[in-house]
């Protein structure tokens, strides 16, 4: 299932690149990853590397923010992957900076 998803993303990435578009791909951490209790999924990393697909891990972008466990609790709606409004604002800030850089180029 993961490999199929990466293959489809790679095809979309190539399709967009051929037409001159920039394609940004983000991988959102689950709550346990954001808390530092789980690492990035090694299978996802393996397939991204195998298919030479560039993706930004939001987890890496959270680290400089030095979120406390209470901060992480506030940005997740539940124990899984669903974000609160505050969480969406944090993600939007991360993605928005990247989008602004792409638009300037």
Closest listed residue to residue 36, CA positions, set 8, 7, 15, 65: 65
* Domain span including residue 83: 2-104
pTM for the whole thing?
A: 0.89
pLDDT confidence of residue 104: 82
Over residues 84-92, the mean pLDDT reads 97
Looking at per-residue pLDDT, the higher value among 37 and 105 belongs to 37
pLDDT in tens, 10-52: 999 999 999 999 999 999 999 999 999 999 999 999 999 999 9
Tally of domains in the chain:
1
- Quick one: pLDDT at residue 105? 65
Among residues 5, 22, 4, the alpha carbon closest in space to that of 13 is found at 22
The rounded mean pLDDT for the chain is: 95
- Strand pairing partners for 57? 27
pLDDT digits (tens, 9 = 90+) for 59-85: 999 999 999 999 999 999 998 899 999
């Amino acid at each position: 299932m993961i490999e199929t998803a990466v293959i489809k993303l790679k095809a979309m990435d190539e399709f967009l690149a051929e037409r001159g578009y920039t394609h940004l791909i983000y991988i959102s951490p689950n709550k346990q990853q954001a808390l530092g209790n789980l690492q990035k999924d090694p299978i996802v990393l393996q397939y991204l590397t195998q298919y030479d697909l560039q993706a930004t891990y939001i987890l890496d972008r959270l680290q400089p923010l030095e979120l406390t466990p209470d901060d992480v609790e506030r940005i997740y709606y539940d124990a899984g992957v669903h974000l609160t409004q505050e969480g969406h604002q944090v993600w939007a800030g991360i993605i928005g900076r990247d989008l602004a850089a792409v638009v300037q180029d």
